[in-house]
């Protein structure tokens, strides 16, 4: 049985990666790894509240390993904290780290370099799956997500806060990746095949900051 640590962004690609890993009887996903902006107490770029990520982990039934990063955070500081995570993983019998990367070769190369010498193998379960088909497959399987961050230079800012669904896929302009792999948008998953039940959420305040448009996802009471 291979014990795996899953890089968990709170978004759809992470959720689908977990879905695929769970179909392999020889794999046990031992923990979810999420890095947080310690100042904002939110997932970096996705801007998702920590409490919502903790709820995701509860719905999944897998421990969450939270890594708090200062803001701003240098690449050297980030890599130092990730090395500590790798050391913890190895000490707990984990032998691989899985990522939800889709097709950006430079990102994959970076991750593979970071894993060198750690004793951990990098895994890429969704690598090179055509993103148009991938988006449709996720939606058909019952995955539900909200758009939490939009790059307005690539996508209409009005899409922030929208659900990731077939209507949204049809509305995406030419040149925008259906899964937002080029950074066009980021998501928060509130229901998925890997969840024991949906998380009640609604779209809250929408703000523009640092060149991006962020939609706050708020838990419903």
pLDDT at position 70 is 86
- Calpha distance 187→147 (Å, rounded): 4
The residue behind tokens 């392999």 is 24
pTM to 2 decimal places: 0.95
Measure the CA angle with vertex 26, ends 54 and 29; round to 5°.
10
Give the pair of three-digit tokens for residue 82.
């990730």
Q: Which uninterrupted H or E stretch holds 92?
A: none
Q: What is the average per-residue pLDDT within 213-218?
A: 96
The phi, psi pair for 192, rounded to 5°, reads -170, 160
Can you tell me the mean pLDDT for 179-207?
Answer: 97
Higher pLDDT, 77 or 34: 34
Q: What is the pLDDT of residue 46?
A: 82
Question: What's the confidence (pLDDT) of residue 126?
Answer: 97
More confident residue, 73 or 14: 14
Residues 6 or more apart from 159 whose CB is under 8 A from it?
A: 147, 150, 168, 171, 185
pLDDT of residue 45: 75
The whole-number average pLDDT for the span 202-213 is 95
CB atoms within 10 A of CB 211: 8
CA distance 191 to 122: 26
Question: Average pLDDT, whole number, for the chain?
Answer: 95
Closest CA to 5 of 107, 161, 114, 103: 114
Question: How far, in Å, CA of 164 to CA of 208, rounded?
Answer: 20
Tell me: the pLDDT tens digits for 136-181?
A: 999 999 999 999 999 999 999 999 999 999 999 999 999 999 999 9
Domains with residue ranges and CATH for the chain: 2-123 (3.40.50.620), 142-219 (no CATH)
* Number of continuous H segments (helices) and E segments (strands) in the chain: 6, 10
Decide if pLDDT at 4 tops 80.
yes
Helices 12-21 and 131-140, packing angle to 10 deg: 80
Residue 69 · residue 36 · CB < 8 Å: yes
**How far apart are alpha carbons 4 and 17 in whole angstroms?**
12
Please state, as a whole number, how many other Cβ atoms lie within 10 Å of the Cβ of residue 47: 21
Q: Give the model's confidence band at 26: pLDDT under 50 very low, under 70 low, under 90 confident, else very high.
A: very high
For residue 183, the 8-state DSSP code is S
Question: What pLDDT was estimated at residue 73?
Answer: 83
User: Nearest-CA neighbor of 148 among 117, 118, 175, 187?
Assistant: 187
At 43-74, the pLDDT tens digits run 987 889 999 999 999 999 999 999 999 888 88
pLDDT for 87: 95
């Amino acid at each position: 049985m291979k014990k795996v640590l899953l890089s968990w962004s709170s978004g759809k690609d992470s959720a689908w990666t977990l879905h695929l890993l769970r179909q392999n009887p020889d794999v046990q996903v031992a923990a979810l790894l999420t890095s947080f902006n310690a100042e904002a107490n939110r997932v970096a770029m996705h801007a998702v509240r920590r409490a919502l990520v903790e709820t995701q982990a509860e719905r999944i039934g897998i421990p969450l390993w939270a890594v708090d990063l200062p803001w701003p955070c240098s690449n050297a500081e980030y890599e130092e904290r990730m090395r500590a995570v790798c050391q913890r993983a190895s000490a707990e019998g984990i032998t691989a780290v899985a990522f939800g990367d889709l097709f950006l070769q430079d990102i994959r190369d970076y991750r593979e370099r970071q894993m060198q010498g750690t004793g951990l193998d990098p895994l890429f379960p969704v690598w090179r799956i055509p993103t148009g088909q991938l988006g449709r497959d996720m939606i058909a399987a019952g995955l539900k997500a909200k758009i939490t961050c939009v790059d307005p230079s690539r996508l209409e800012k009005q899409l922030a806060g929208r659900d990731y669904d077939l209507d949204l896929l049809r509305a995406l302009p030419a040149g925008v990746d259906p899964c937002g792999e080029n950074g066009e948008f980021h998501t928060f998953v509130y229901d998925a095949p890997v969840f024991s039940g949906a998380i009640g959420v609604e779209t809250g305040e929408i703000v523009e900051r640092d060149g991006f448009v962020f939609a706050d996802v708020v838990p419903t009471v």
